Amino acid sequence: MNNRREFITLLGCAAAAWPITGRAQQPERTRRIAILLNAAADDPRYQPWVGAFLQALALLGWTIGRNVRIDTRWSGANAAETRRHAAELAALAPDVILAHGSSTVGPLLQATRTVPIVFPIAADPVGANLNTAKALGLDVPATLLARADEVIE
């Protein structure tokens, strides 16, 4: 009789703990990063930049194939290719898009309004945003432009 009680108690505890251990074993969500570069894939100036980005991700614990997926498009200096690649990347619904240079930001903003776009390298970020806003038919209030001038100075 005692063994039977111990066995039933063991089964009850195992059944109660089962959902907890099941949740603990869920695979980590894979994040998706899209990269749009305005250079050719074999451009030696951009290879170190991409390598440094991937190395920084690794140092932060991101591993390609385990918890992050990276989709990269190289458009060269071709505006039509940039627009096509921007639409492709936006359709993938990444968690974030990394844009290199001001010439890639406008097409990306035309392709998506829901995915965050990060552009760490832009000669004139305020001007790039202003030109993009104009291209999209948006009016930028004069007070906002004045405030941007103050911040820059």
CA distances from 136 to 9, 58, 70, 120, 131 (A): 67, 36, 28, 21, 9
Instruction: Please say whether the beta carbons of 132 and 105 come within 8 A.
Output: yes
Q: Which pLDDT score is estimated for 104?
A: 86
Percent of the chain with pLDDT over 70: 61
Do 40 and 81 meet the contact criterion of CB atoms below 8 Å apart? no
- Which CATH code of 3.40.50.300, 3.40.640.10, 3.40.50.2300, 1.10.10.10 fits the domain covering 31-152? 3.40.50.2300
Q: Check if the beta carbon of residue 105 is closer than 8 Å to that of residue 99.
A: yes
The tens digit of pLDDT for each residue in 50-106 reads: 888 889 889 888 999 999 999 999 998 889 999 999 999 999 999 999 888 778 888
pTM for the full predicted model: 0.65
- 11-48 pLDDT, tens digit per residue, is 455 445 555 545 555 667 899 999 999 888 888 888 88
* Secondary-structure breakdown of the chain: helix, strand, coil percentages, each rounded to the nearest 5: 55, 15, 30
The Cβ of residue 33 has, within 10 Å, a number of other Cβ atoms equal to 20
